Structure 1
Amino acid sequence: MAGSNNFGFDIQDLLNFPHALACCKKCLAISRAMKRNRQQHIHCPICRVQYIVHGNSEFEQFRAYFKNKGLYIQNHQIFEHCRQLAAIAHRINQYSPDYPPLAGLLQAFHLARQFVHFTTFGISKDFLLVLKFIAQHIQVRGIVALTPDQSWVLSELESSDLKTPNFCIKTICTSTNNWKKLPHQKLIVIDGLMAFKGSANLTTTAWRKAAHFYDVVEVVTQIDEVITHHNRYFSTVWANLSEHSDIITIGSDPFDDSVA
């Protein structure tokens, strides 16, 4: 029908496009802005960590600290990047045998510019090697729940081969005492722009099964939904495993975790 909108795109959406995003140091939650709590301290709305800033120019020191720690998400040429990721999602959603979900995931890994965050129940050596390779260029952070037969992952993570400061995996091993608290969610987030969720663990077997609909893989490209999934299913668990306390001090004292 003449005059109808067949593209599903409203240019006003550009006004709401999330620009200045940052990751909390403790939980890595993605946030547009960190507000003050009742004590007037800047705090993360997900893990509630407080950033206590000593000295003058509080916000300037806070911004400098986040920049120094690489916690800002700098998406240059963002629309082209989104276009490339959206093309992957479109091809996966076509359910073509010529482009299985595994191919789309590997291509998304290749295109990642800022970070890959994930949580999985088990992981295969193939994926572990791929993620170590990606970490040569960007931040890779993951949570891996392990069954007793996957103890090899611990030795692999402790190996000096391909070690990089960009690669950090937190493991949780199963036992009769912690089964109820063992993470079972499967989520992969690329640059805070795209997410893969479903039932497929980060193993080649699971992702190949997904091509035949024996495992579930869904692609999320709506950015608010991507951030919600990331903060709910990744950041809340990462915070519980974090080495940081509930207070992060920013200041000039040499004993503080201050701006360099």
Structure 2
Amino acid sequence: MRTFFEVVSRAKYFVHFCSYGMSHQLIGALKMASMRVPVYGFASNVEPSTRVELTEYPTEAPGLIAKVIPTEQNIYDAPHQKLLIVDGLVAFKGSANLTMAGLRRADRGLDLSETVTDYAEITELNNTLFAPIWRKITAPEDVFSRPRISDW
């Protein structure tokens, strides 16, 4: 967990995150980072109070843009990836949720959290696990569609 706090506190360009569940303490760390750099992310399977912290007070941390994906209707379609990318230089991936319990279990070897520093792998993680979901939940479908020839 200490590594999470160290890396997030030193972000210089951006932070991307996705998780299945989140703790208020980790949201606080992301809000602090958002005072210096943009922080974008999404979470599913969160408590109502967590959803409120992530989405309903945008003026407290204007650099934090977070989305909550509802899981009540179809739990099998809710994103389940756990990923944190800082500045495109370091990523944490694995099965540990961005919760206090999840990161503490990982610290004790009871859950998986791997630190990645290979740029190509970090880019691949961002482009496969973060960006497609982020696009789907933040951009209208037609924004990224290819123009038709008849539109020319």
Normalised to the residue count of structure 2, the TM-score between the two structures is: 0.87
Q: Say whether 1:228 aligns with 2:124.
A: yes
The 8 Å contact of residues 55 and 66 in structure 2, kept in 1 or not, is answered as: no
Deviation at 1:158, TM superposition (A): 4.2
Note the residue ranges of structure 2 that are not aligned, 5 or more in a row.
Answer: 145-152
Which residue number in structure 1 is paired with residue 105 of structure 2? 209
**Does residue 240 in structure 1 map to residue 139 in structure 2?**
no
Q: For each residue in 1:70-93, what CA deviation from the matched residue of structure 2 results, as whole angstroms up to 9, or x when unmatched?
A: xxxxxxxxxxxxxxxxxxxxxxxx
State the 1:247 CA deviation: 2.9
Instruction: Work out which of the residue numbers 96, 101, 120 in structure 2 matches 1:200.
Output: 96
Residue 146 (structure 1) aligned with residue 52 (structure 2): no
Shift of 1:234: 0.4
> In the alignment, is residue 178 of structure 1 matched against residue 74 of structure 2?
yes
Greater Cα offset, 223-232 or 177-186: 177-186
The DSSP-based 3-state class of the residue aligned with 1:168 is strand
Alpha carbons 2:18, 2:41 under 8 Å: kept: yes
Aligned counterpart, 1:188: 84
Relative to structure 1, is the Cα distance of residues 107 and 179 closer, same or farther in structure 2, using a 3 angstrom cutoff? same
Distance change in 2, residues 1:152/1:231 (3 Å): same
1:134 maps to 2:33: yes
Higher helix share: 2
CA distance in 2, matches of 1:182, 1:160: 24
Change (3 A) 1:137 1:208: same
Q: Calculate the TM-score normalised by the size of structure 1.
A: 0.52
1:155 aligns with 2:52: yes
What corresponds to 1:164 in structure 2?
61
Distance apart, 1:155 and its partner CA: 2.1
Distance 1:216 1:128 in 2: 20
- 1:220 is displaced (CA, Å) by 0.8
Q: CA deviation at 1:154?
A: 2.1
* Structure 1 ranges of 4+ moved more than 6 A: none
Distance 1:158 1:188 in 2: 18
Higher Cα radius of gyration = 1
Q: What is the correspondence of 1:1-150 to structure 2 with a 5 Å cutoff? A: 102-147=1-46, 150=47
**Shift in Å, 1:196:** 0.4
Which residue among 93, 114, 117 is the counterpart of 1:218? 114
Distance 1:206 1:214 in 2: 9
Distance 1:171 1:209, change over 3 A: same
Q: Distance in 2 between matches of 1:209 and 1:239?
A: 31
State the match for 1:30 in structure 2: none
Q: 2 CA distance for matches of 1:246 and 1:197?
A: 31
Residue type at the aligned position of 1:105: F
Deviation, structure 1 residue 204: 1.0
Cα RMSD between the aligned structures?
1.7
Q: What is the CA distance between 1:174 and its match in structure 2?
A: 1.2
